[in-house]
Amino acid sequence: MDSLLTVIAIGAAVAGFVQGLSGFAFSMLAMSIWAWTVEPHLAASSAVFGGMIGQLMAVTTIRGAFEKEVLLPLFAGALVGIPIGVVILPHLDTDLFKSVLGAILAICCPIVLFSDRLPHIGAAGRTVNGLVGGVAGVMTGIGGFTGIFPTLWYTLRGFDKQRLRAMIQWFNLTALTTTMAVYVVSGITTTAMLPIFAVIVPAMLIPWWLGSRLYLGISEAAYRKVVLGFLTFAGVGMLVSSLPTTIAHLY
């Protein structure tokens, strides 16, 4: 139990710093550490819980406007996608999922990093925003991977640092809180997990604060590199942790 709590605390500290800096990505970074030793349902519940706590701490720091034309379709899509993700979770081949997601991130994030050399995608309608929210909702229900696809999509659309962070924080706060409630009602999150949650909160507090302070001092270009770099790192971590088992299953 002590070794489990140590791994949980390390993952929460690293992910808390990244969330404070980027405004999201708690689940991705935590999972890249927890995936090696933590049972999947516990890891998913812990990732959603930690991400939700980080977003609650960030509520007063959101500086961008609440863009209804972007966020409301995202919320609507997420409300459809989250229950689907929750239903999929118990039947999911966890290693195969992590391998696929890790490969997507490891390939796509470096490409998006250089997307400033490409023309930005023009304004998207409510249907497209809703679809992005739906995919993000499914990913949130599976394990709290809330901000991945909205971040990639709106980076390609050319959102600046403040606008992107505000949009992701509003969306993540809503999606993670909803997912946590569904996890509790469905029995995925249980009272037996409370000691783990009690470790996550203090472990992430100071790292989150340090990350949020660092965010204020970095440039637009640096922020972009940091966010996509962290996503790439998390993708590689998930891929490395799951690929050997996935290959073994295939043979």
Q: Which domain holds residue 130?
A: 2-250
Tell me the C-alpha to C-alpha distance, in Å, between residue 229 and each of 71, 187, 221, 225: 25, 35, 12, 6
Mean pLDDT on 181-208: 93
pLDDT 10s digits, 112-127: 676 556 556 666 678 8
pTM over 0.75: yes
pLDDT 10s digits, 70-90: 889 999 999 999 999 999 888
**Banded model confidence at residue 205, pLDDT cuts 50, 70, 90:** very high
Q: Which long-range contacts (CB under 8 A, 24 or more apart) does 154-157 make?
A: 154/70, 155/112, 155/115, 155/224, 155/227, 155/228, 156/112, 156/115, 156/120, 156/121, 157/120, 157/121, 157/122, 157/123, 157/124
Tell me the C-alpha to C-alpha distance, in Å, between residue 240 and each of 4, 160, 205, 237: 20, 32, 28, 5
pLDDT in the model for residue 161: 74
Mean pLDDT on 33-42: 80
Mean pLDDT on 173-200: 93
Winning range, highest mean pLDDT, from 60-69, 199-208, 222-231: 199-208
Q: Is the pLDDT of residue 193 over 80?
A: yes
Domain count, the chain: 1
